[in-house]
A and B are shown apart, each in its own frame.
Chain A
């Protein structure tokens, strides 16, 4: 057994990508939706276990991953390992919860395809994190994006509006793909190489071309992550998506794109000559995203739209750490990405208790009818606010610390502004959940949908647990940042 485990560990990065892909193939070939659900969940679980083991070895025990010839060019760096672990671990509850909702959201014949698409999306986002060369990053990002669009369209049984939202998402993603392709061309010409690591090279052949290319790639990823001012698909997609599709978009789509953006951004900010310009552009996007996302979340009239815009504002906070270009900033960004993933899983998982297009008033008195769902949503909202003892607080604190340490005093104002806005929209949500009487009959799922809330509740508790005892999380984030930006990296 041990030799097999050692072999698996040597090829862990490839296995983390291939396992969900194999599960997707089995899901499509299998006899039905339930089989596909089990196989896809198992594939995601194996991938998550492998990624946790890889992260444990690399970030906790400081054991470097051996270079092996895989047939595909992989680059296993700190950001990639940390974010791949976050995505793989998020993929398990998302697949489990979405599978439980398939009977309601998807035609029975399409259920295996829906599960296969989700497995492919997980594999593709992780592949984009591990990919060494730019064209592989492009293909992986587009594969993941198209899987998300296709899943949104397939899960449009209850609302045809999800179809138009999927079309808008596809068009925005298509334009982003063109910009990314153009960016890859510019970067390759500018660097004279096709791998992302070449950006660290002291002598870039054509720095302006490389800078424009890196900027175009980041703009494309901004569109995919739904960051301001290019978040045109966010409102329609989240406002009309089924419960499962909204969970997938928030936890896998947005977090996946944000993670890839972090990886590309770290490489670009660290590049000589172009680094300062890219950092300034990222900081501007970050502040704009925090402001616009917070305003839109405060003004949202629909529960899922509110949560989606809150996610946009949180993503803006994460970008500030990337723009700083320091190990402390990057470590804070990684903690923020984890906090956002857990908060979104809790928020959107809890929101499955109400109908997709339900207005804010649907939350009135929900705590009496669905106490578990209300509790998960409350934990998610508290973490977004940056309430003490929550992971969100930890992330904000580290971001402020890194910003002030780097001389960017305004980051403290941006973080406090984001938290104050979150107090308004999150507080309004909590007030409706616990302090109002129900004013309308809300259609809820049957007993099966309670399954959905179990993983959401687990992550809601994790939001608190990581906040109370953060030492392991902080060590892992610091180690990942040191691997990429520390001395001798």
Chain B
């Protein structure tokens, strides 16, 4: 009984963390924080998979999380070099400024 409660609790916590990570990934104003949000969601999804007994998906899941982390870190560095910052407000402003203005047809 205690094991079942612990398993359910782990699952609920993991699912809550996935949602928390997803919200952080979409709403944080900083690119690094968004990346951290993605990693929280992925790690929590891995924990949920373990608590559900789907152990064969753990290794592929870890590989996916690592690949995402590495590519994400490389992208954050390139964005920092290109835009001079990793705040999305600054990036959005720079993007908007570089947009081509359509002449009157």
Instruction: Tell me if B83 and A146 are in contact (CB < 8 A).
Output: no
Shortest distance between the CB of A369 and any CB in chain B (Å): 16
Please name the 6 residue pairs, one residue from A and one from B, whose CB atoms are nearest each other, closest first.
A359-B102, A174-B38, A185-B49, A178-B41, A181-B45, A188-B54
**In the complex, chain A residues whose CB is within 8 Å of the CB of B71:** 146, 149-150, 170
**In the complex, chain B residues whose CB is within 8 Å of the CB of A142:** 64, 67-68
Q: Which of B25, B34, B49, B60 contacts A139 (CB 8 A)?
A: B60
Instruction: Tell me if B38 and A178 are in contact (CB < 8 A).
Output: yes
Shortest distance between the CB of B21 and any CB in chain A (Å): 7
**In the complex, chain B residues whose CB is within 8 Å of the CB of A364:** 105
Interface residues of B in 6-61 (CB under 8 A from A): 15, 18, 21-22, 25-26, 31, 34-35, 37-39, 41-42, 44-46, 48-49, 52-54, 56-57, 60-61
Q: Which residue of B lies closest to A436 (CB)?
A: B105
If the complex has contacts A160-B82, A178-B41, A194-B54, are A138 and B60 also in contact, measured as CB distance less than 8 A? Answer: yes
Q: Which of B38, B56, B83 contacts A160 (CB 8 A)?
A: B83
Most buried by A among B15, B22, B57, B78: B57
Which of A161-169, A248-256, A463-471 is near enough to bind chain B?
A161-169
A50-B104 Cα distance, complex, nearest whole Å: 51
> A94 within 8 Å of B by Cβ?
no
> B3 within 8 Å of A by Cβ?
no
Instruction: Tell me if B45 and A179 are in contact (CB < 8 A).
Output: yes
**In the complex, chain A residues whose CB is within 8 Å of the CB of B46:** 181
A369-B79 Cα distance, complex, nearest whole Å: 36
**In the complex, chain A residues whose CB is within 8 Å of the CB of B98:** 159-161, 357
Instruction: Tell me if B102 and A175 are in contact (CB < 8 A).
Output: no
Query: By DSSP majority rule, is chain A's interface helix, strand, loop, or mixed?
Result: helix
Q: Which of A146, A171, A185, A358 contacts B100 (CB 8 A)?
A: A358
Q: Which residue of B lies closest to A239 (CB)?
A: B99
Instruction: Tell me if B102 and A181 are in contact (CB < 8 A).
Output: no
If the complex has contacts A174-B72, A181-B64, A189-B53, are A301 and B45 also in contact, measured as CB distance less than 8 A? Answer: no
Instruction: Tell me if B57 and A163 are in contact (CB < 8 A).
Output: no
Shortest distance between the CB of A342 and any CB in chain B (Å): 29
> A361 within 8 Å of B by Cβ?
yes
A247-B48 Cα distance, complex, nearest whole Å: 37
A120-B53 Cα distance, complex, nearest whole Å: 31
A358-B99 Cα distance, complex, nearest whole Å: 9
**In the complex, chain A residues whose CB is within 8 Å of the CB of B103:** 359, 361, 439-440
A178-B49 Cα distance, complex, nearest whole Å: 10
A139-B66 Cα distance, complex, nearest whole Å: 12
Interface string of B58-96 (1 = CB under 8 A from A): 001101110110011011101100110000000100110
A481-B105 Cα distance, complex, nearest whole Å: 48
User: Can you give 30 contacting A-B residue pairs, CB < 8 Å?
Assistant: A135-B57, A135-B60, A135-B61, A139-B60, A150-B71, A153-B74, A156-B82, A163-B78, A163-B83, A164-B83, A171-B26, A171-B35, A174-B68, A174-B72, A175-B41, A177-B45, A178-B44, A181-B42, A181-B45, A181-B46, A181-B48, A184-B54, A184-B57, A185-B45, A185-B57, A188-B57, A189-B54, A240-B95, A357-B99, A361-B105
**In the complex, chain B residues whose CB is within 8 Å of the CB of A163:** 75, 78-79, 82-83
* Residue ranges of A at the interface with B (Cβ–Cβ < 8 Å): 133-136, 138-139, 142-143, 146, 149-150, 153, 156, 159-161, 163-164, 166-167, 170-171, 173-175, 177-179, 181-182, 184-186, 188-189, 194, 209, 232, 236, 240, 301, 355, 357-361, 364, 436, 439-440
Q: Which residue of B lies closest to A178 (CB)?
A: B41
Shortest distance between the CB of A29 and any CB in chain B (Å): 21
Instruction: Tell me if A189 and B91 are in contact (CB < 8 A).
Output: no
Instruction: Tell me if B67 and A146 are in contact (CB < 8 A).
Output: yes
**In the complex, chain B residues whose CB is within 8 Å of the CB of A188:** 49, 52-54, 56-57
A248-B61 Cα distance, complex, nearest whole Å: 26
If the complex has contacts A178-B44, A182-B49, are A146 and B68 also in contact, measured as CB distance less than 8 A? Answer: yes
Instruction: Tell me if A178 and B22 are in contact (CB < 8 A).
Output: yes
A163-B103 Cα distance, complex, nearest whole Å: 26
A185-B10 Cα distance, complex, nearest whole Å: 14
Q: Which residue of A lies closest to B39 (CB)?
A: A174
Q: Which of A146, A159, A174 contacts B42 (CB 8 A)?
A: A174
Q: Which of B63, B68, B102, B105 contacts A170 (CB 8 A)?
A: B68
A47-B38 Cα distance, complex, nearest whole Å: 34
Shortest distance between the CB of B104 and any CB in chain A (Å): 8
Q: Which residue of B lies closest to A141 (CB)?
A: B64
If the complex has contacts A138-B64, A182-B18, are A167 and B79 also in contact, measured as CB distance less than 8 A? Answer: yes
If the complex has contacts A174-B42, A185-B45, A364-B105, are A167 and B75 also in contact, measured as CB distance less than 8 A? Answer: yes
**In the complex, chain A residues whose CB is within 8 Å of the CB of B37:** 171
Q: Which residue of A lies closest to B51 (CB)?
A: A185
Instruction: Tell me if A164 and B91 are in contact (CB < 8 A).
Output: yes
Instruction: Tell me if A161 and B95 are in contact (CB < 8 A).
Output: yes
Shortest distance between the CB of B105 and any CB in chain A (Å): 5
Shortest distance between the CB of B95 and any CB in chain A (Å): 5
**In the complex, chain B residues whose CB is within 8 Å of the CB of A135:** 56-57, 60-61
A62-B104 Cα distance, complex, nearest whole Å: 58
Instruction: Tell me if A357 and B100 are in contact (CB < 8 A).
Output: yes
Shortest distance between the CB of B19 and any CB in chain A (Å): 10
Instruction: Tell me if A139 and B52 are in contact (CB < 8 A).
Output: no
Q: Which of B25, B49, B52, B100 contacts A175 (CB 8 A)?
A: B25
